[in-house]
Amino acid sequence: MSSFILVVTYILLFISLFLEVYFLISFFEDWTKKESKEKKGVDYTRPENLPSATIIVPCWNEETTVKGTIDSLLNLNYPKEKLDIFIIDDGSTDGTWNIIQTYNSHPQITLFQKENGGKHTAVNLGLEHVKSDLVGLLDADSFVHTEALMRIVDTFLKEPETKAVTPAMTIHNANTLARVLQRTEYFFAIFMRKTSAAMGALYVIPGPFSFIRTEVFKSLGEYKHAYLTEDMEYAMRMQSHHYTIANRHDAYVYTVGPADPKGLFKQRLRWIYGFLNNARDYKHLFFTPRYGDLSLLMLPSAVVFLIGSFVLFSTLISSTSTSLAKGISRIRTVGVDVPASLTSPDWFFFNTDALLFLSVFVMILTIVLILIGKKLAGEKMRFSPDIVLFLLIYGIVALSWNTVALYKTLASRKVSWR
């Protein structure tokens, strides 16, 4: 391993270890304070005590999932007279509109159809007709737990200063390797979102079932085209105005993740590309003490990891190619030579390098964070083979879309939604 890649690896491992310990401390500190946030005297059985809400569902070519999405919303445990559902077809070319129209007579549902203009234009059309206290979004490939909305509203009632509440997202039907990896990643993300919210450092309001007070849109304006990551841009916009974004870890949302590596690559490329470009637009959020942990810790570390991934990926490809070329040349010259250490290993020479121990500690802490995320997601806090797959495969695969996203950003190239 070259001295350059060794230095980069040590830096990334040190930052990872520091952040994981910091996140754990922040998580447990927040957990011990949660009882102090209780707001007494709210009777949830009386509809007049609950805020009104509108859920906007933008759709584009979602004929296979949109019915399940709408049905899950209609099954929400929330007063029917307090909940409106806007279904907006953004110029679908499949049978989405035909399926949506079967709900035309439902009293809670309002249908809209428009020419294709992108997700943000569909959401903005819905915002023009909102008259409720809260506005929520839901992607048309996601399904919600029956108590999800009530739990999110509970957070708004207990924390009047909160302007937005994000849910806990998990993968629906992890039936492929790509979805199994995403499922484990989402457990990790549940922990991170919970902890980041406690630190005041959330910079994404995910599309599946996040809610925002309607007054925020009146103050900050509507969504805009933001590198196909409008939810990220709006969260950064809110952070710029010191608006509190909370998280409700037991408000479960189940989303249909990409089924194959190609779909996963395109989705994550869009996410990372959106982060880099939105971070550039909101560069004033970096290293400005008045924005707290978001500015001094979360955003800078995210950029460091992306750049580090690019460096590692480039160097590993180069060093691996060089090693393969030398190995092939050696085999052609002297044949296959099996090292004696493989046939008769000597444990005296066991690798005690600091790099190995740092890597092991980081992996152990990562597993702990994933297990806590599983617990928060309502599952048993139990180690499973999918965690091993995640640790072995996902980090290496992520290097590819991180590298491409960084290249496209530097080269001013655009990415597509699908």
Q: Which strand ranges, in their side-by-side order, compose the sheet holding 134-137?
A: 109-114, 83-90, 53-59, 134-137, 211-213, 162-171, 244-255, 142-144
Within the chain, how many helices (H) and strands (E) appear?
15, 8
| Gap between the Cα atoms of 325 and 211, Å rounded | 55
Query: What local confidence, expressed as pLDDT, does residue 163 receive?
Result: 98
Cβ atoms of 53 and 86 closer than 8 Å: no
Q: Which CATH number fits domain 52-259: 3.40.50.300, 3.10.20.30, 3.90.550.10, 3.30.830.10?
A: 3.90.550.10
Longest pairwise C-alpha distance within the chain: 84
Query: What local confidence, expressed as pLDDT, does residue 344 receive?
Result: 54
Give CA 163 to chain center in angstroms: 19
Cβ atoms of 247 and 161 closer than 8 Å: no
CB under 8 A, 24+ apart: contacts of 29-36: 29/198, 30/194, 30/195, 30/198
Dihedral angle, C-alpha 196, 198, 202, 205, nearest 10 °: 110
- List average pLDDT for each run of 10 residues in the chain, which is 418 residues long: 72 87 92 60 76 98 97 97 98 97 97 96 98 97 97 96 97 94 96 96 94 98 94 98 97 96 95 96 97 96 81 63 73 65 50 72 93 95 92 86 91 81
Relative to beta strand 162-171, strand 244-255 is parallel
Q: Which two tokens stand for residue 96?
A: 């989405």
| Gap between the Cα atoms of 193 and 209, Å rounded | 14
Query: What local confidence, expressed as pLDDT, does residue 189 receive?
Result: 96
Which of 250, 231, 238, 213 has its CA nearest to residue 52?
213
Relative to beta strand 109-114, strand 162-171 is unpaired
Helical ranges in 34-147 per DSSP H: 66-74, 96-101, 119-127
Query: What local confidence, expressed as pLDDT, does residue 362 receive?
Result: 87
Query: What local confidence, expressed as pLDDT, does residue 349 receive?
Result: 44
Q: Which two tokens stand for residue 302?
A: 């995210």
